[in-house]
Chain A
Amino acid sequence: MKLGRTKGWLLFALCVILAPIVFRNNSYLLIVLILCGINVIMTSSLRAMATVGQMCMGSMAFSGIGAYTSALLTLKAGFPFWAAFPLAGLVAMAVAAIIAFPFVRVTGVYFAMLTLFLGEVVRLIIVEWNSLTGGVTGLTGIPPMGAISLLGVHVDFTSLLPYCYFVFFVMMVTLIVLYRIDRSFLGTTLAAIEKDEDVSASVGINVIKYKALLFCIGCFFFGLAGSLLAHYMRILNADSFSLFGSIYILIYMVAGGRKKFSGPIVGAVVLTLIPEMFRVMKQYQPLVFVAVLFFVLYFLRAGLADLPDKIRHLIKKTHPGKAANA
């Protein structure tokens, strides 16, 4: 069934709106949906950075920055969530902006290593700066989102269902922003940069500027995602944002596929849902990731989102002359 782009979006939006209501009595599934949403935000942002060929292995560092910013502002400085949340994204983006220009000059595997070490440095700073972040033990009792009253409707975001909708709301906003960037003239420029940096530069594209811009935008959303995590988990410590977290996001992106916009969404959803289905064997969960990753790397390089195309291709090959749309 070939889905047009609009139909695909509508179907997705429908799932997003209906799923929480359908599962509203199942706390466990709501939690899974919340985590799915947060993972989709992070994976899509990673893909945005990857559209210019930058493999970032320290992305969780910016989630960590966002998370601690939001947590500290609400916990220690008495900020309301609605102020702390955007600030989380902005602080993460500010840090990214400071380091962006020197960082994006580095390319390829060196950029991956650079971001890996950046991630580690941020995590270690969180551990070391005990007075601010609580070090290894971390922060506890982070305030939940609180409740709002709008036009006589009282919504308490402390409970799972409204929080799930909020996460999905942020997710949709993130996806729309990233999608517009992808499809716009900016997106074409970025595609040009990824294809061939030197040629792009020779036609007057300021490669460094665009890479830095994308890096900052991606980190903004990572910061927001961090804040969402912090207020969902209500506790934080340095290990929440380790190298492995970054690696998982990377695996989600690779498994889903980097080329298509829907790739990271597919990857994040599939890889968040599948381990939850195997919940009984918690120790064995990472093995599922490994299996999916190897399957994609050796058999379906373009990612799971490419599966429909691959299947269509196979059908065409085995039934030449048959109409392509089933």
Chain B
Amino acid sequence: MWDGVLQGIFNGLASGWIYVLVALGLALVFSILGILQFAHGEIYMLGAYVVYYACVVGHIPFLLALLISALVMGVGGIILERVMFRRIRGEMEPAILAAIGLTLLFQTVAVIAFGGYTKFIPSVFPGVVKLGGVRLSKDRLFAVIMGLVLTSALFLVIKKTKVGKAMLAVSHDPEAAALQGINVNRISSLSMGIGSALAAIAGGLMGSILQLAPHMGTFAITKGIAVIILGGIGSISGAVLGGLILGLVDGLIPLYSSGTMAAIVGFCVIILVLLVRPKGLLGHD
């Protein structure tokens, strides 16, 4: 029985780290641009398809494909910021509506371009590692490692580098940051770029673990918003905590009930958080 639970925990952590990567990008854009980038899930989806085409069709090694996808979607994110979001930065409602438009656009294009059927990225690291009674699929293990590495990297960038501190400053008060000589426009573009790159990697990882479909973005954005609400808006550690908790819920509850039930429980928790403690677990803004 314990083996089942441990297995559930491991699978939950693997999904959890993917949620974290999605949420980090979303939280970054929310803090720095002041908008809820609803199309973040579509960037995740497009990133996944870039990885698929690079890997499966182009026979490029997975890690390199992830890097390419991150770069492509990162640049895409910067273009989006420049063209669309800069004009409505800080205005929540038009930004959400514009992002909703983007979401529709990308999903429609994806169905037309990629077809509506699910696709699979063949196992990158086939096989399992046996630890005690638990079978850790190497693909999932890789996702966990990538999650840890990228989150730590982001953490270090924000805490230690000058750019990172500039990002912190803009997230607290864009006007004050501008007065300090920080180029807010450039920081905004950078944040969208980083956020989109992270989402793309998350998509690629999910593609290798599960599957790809044109509507996978909807799943990602709902999970992403859930994570930042649970963890607290404006907090990176909150995004990590929230993502892992929701991942564990998704990993453990299906053992006793069903996947749908796990989602219901997860979202009910989020609803409760919004009603009772909107700041979330570790939020401060």
Residues of A within 8 A of B (CB): 55, 102-103, 105-106, 108-110, 112-114, 116-118, 120-121, 124-125, 127-128, 243-244, 247, 250-251, 254, 283-287, 289-290, 293-294, 297-298, 301
Q: How far is the CA of A293 from the CA of B104 in the complex (A)?
A: 10
The answer to whether A294 touches B98 (Cβ under 8 A) is yes
A208 smallest CB distance to B (angstroms): 13
B79 contacts the other chain (CB 8 A): no
A155 smallest CB distance to B (angstroms): 39
Interface of A, secondary structure class, is: helix
B93 contacts the other chain (CB 8 A): yes
A-B contact pairs, 12 of them (CB 8 A): A110-B278, A124-B260, A124-B267, A125-B264, A250-B100, A251-B104, A254-B97, A287-B104, A287-B108, A293-B101, A293-B104, A297-B98
Q: How far is the CA of A58 from the CA of B111 in the complex (A)?
A: 24
B22 contacts the other chain (CB 8 A): no
Given contacts A112-B96, A124-B267, 18 further A-B pairs with CB under 8 A are A55-B96, A103-B275, A110-B278, A114-B271, A116-B222, A117-B222, A117-B267, A118-B271, A247-B100, A250-B97, A251-B101, A284-B112, A286-B107, A286-B108, A290-B101, A290-B102, A293-B97, A293-B104
B270 contacts the other chain (CB 8 A): yes
Q: How far is the CA of A125 from the CA of B271 in the complex (A)?
A: 15
Chain B residues with CB under 8 A of A112: 96
**A250-B100, A289-B104 given as contacts; is B92 within 8 A of A114 (CB)?**
no
B236 contacts the other chain (CB 8 A): no
Q: How far is the CA of A238 from the CA of B100 in the complex (A)?
A: 22
Name the 4 nearest CB pairs between A and B, nearest first.
Answer: A286-B108, A293-B101, A128-B260, A290-B105
The B95-154 residues at the A interface (CB cut-off 8 A) are 96-98, 100-105, 107-108, 111-112
> How large, as a class, is the contact surface on chain B?
35 or more
The answer to whether B222 touches A114 (Cβ under 8 A) is no
Partner of B108, one of A103, A250, A290: A290
The answer to whether B101 touches A117 (Cβ under 8 A) is no
Q: Residue of A at shortest CB range from B226?
A: A117
B50 contacts the other chain (CB 8 A): no
The answer to whether A109 touches B96 (Cβ under 8 A) is yes
Chain B residues with CB under 8 A of A117: 222, 226, 267, 270-271, 274
Residues of B within 8 A of A (CB): 36, 87, 92-94, 96-98, 100-105, 107-108, 111-112, 218, 222, 225-226, 229, 258, 260-261, 263-264, 267-268, 270-271, 274-275, 278
The answer to whether B264 touches A121 (Cβ under 8 A) is yes
Q: How far is the CA of A127 from the CA of B98 in the complex (A)?
A: 30
Partner of B229, one of A113, A250, A301: A113
The answer to whether B108 touches A124 (Cβ under 8 A) is no
The answer to whether B271 touches A121 (Cβ under 8 A) is yes
Q: How far is the CA of A294 from the CA of B92 in the complex (A)?
A: 16
Chain A residues with CB under 8 A of B96: 55, 109, 112
A230 smallest CB distance to B (angstroms): 22
The answer to whether A124 touches B101 (Cβ under 8 A) is no
The answer to whether B92 touches A109 (Cβ under 8 A) is yes
The answer to whether B101 touches A297 (Cβ under 8 A) is yes
Chain A residues with CB under 8 A of B222: 116-117, 120, 243
The answer to whether B264 touches A110 (Cβ under 8 A) is no
The answer to whether B275 touches A120 (Cβ under 8 A) is no
**A117-B271, A118-B271, A284-B112 given as contacts; is B100 within 8 A of A251 (CB)?**
yes
**A284-B112, A290-B104 given as contacts; is B274 within 8 A of A106 (CB)?**
yes
**A251-B100, A286-B104 given as contacts; is B275 within 8 A of A114 (CB)?**
yes
The answer to whether B275 touches A102 (Cβ under 8 A) is yes
B269 smallest CB distance to A (angstroms): 10
Q: Residue of A at shortest CB range from B275?
A: A102
Q: Residue of A at shortest CB range from B105?
A: A290
**A121-B264, A127-B260, A289-B104 given as contacts; is B97 within 8 A of A297 (CB)?**
yes
Chain B residues with CB under 8 A of A251: 97, 100-101, 104
A88 smallest CB distance to B (angstroms): 23
A236 smallest CB distance to B (angstroms): 17
Q: How far is the CA of A243 from the CA of B102 in the complex (A)?
A: 15
The answer to whether A124 touches B104 (Cβ under 8 A) is no
A261 smallest CB distance to B (angstroms): 20
Chain A residues with CB under 8 A of B94: 297, 301
The answer to whether A284 touches B108 (Cβ under 8 A) is yes
Chain B residues with CB under 8 A of A120: 222, 263, 267
The answer to whether B268 touches A121 (Cβ under 8 A) is yes
The answer to whether A109 touches B218 (Cβ under 8 A) is no
The answer to whether A128 touches B258 (Cβ under 8 A) is yes
Chain B residues with CB under 8 A of A286: 104-105, 107-108
Chain A residues with CB under 8 A of B111: 283
Chain B residues with CB under 8 A of A284: 108, 112
The answer to whether A283 touches B108 (Cβ under 8 A) is yes
Q: How far is the CA of A271 from the CA of B73 in the complex (A)?
A: 31
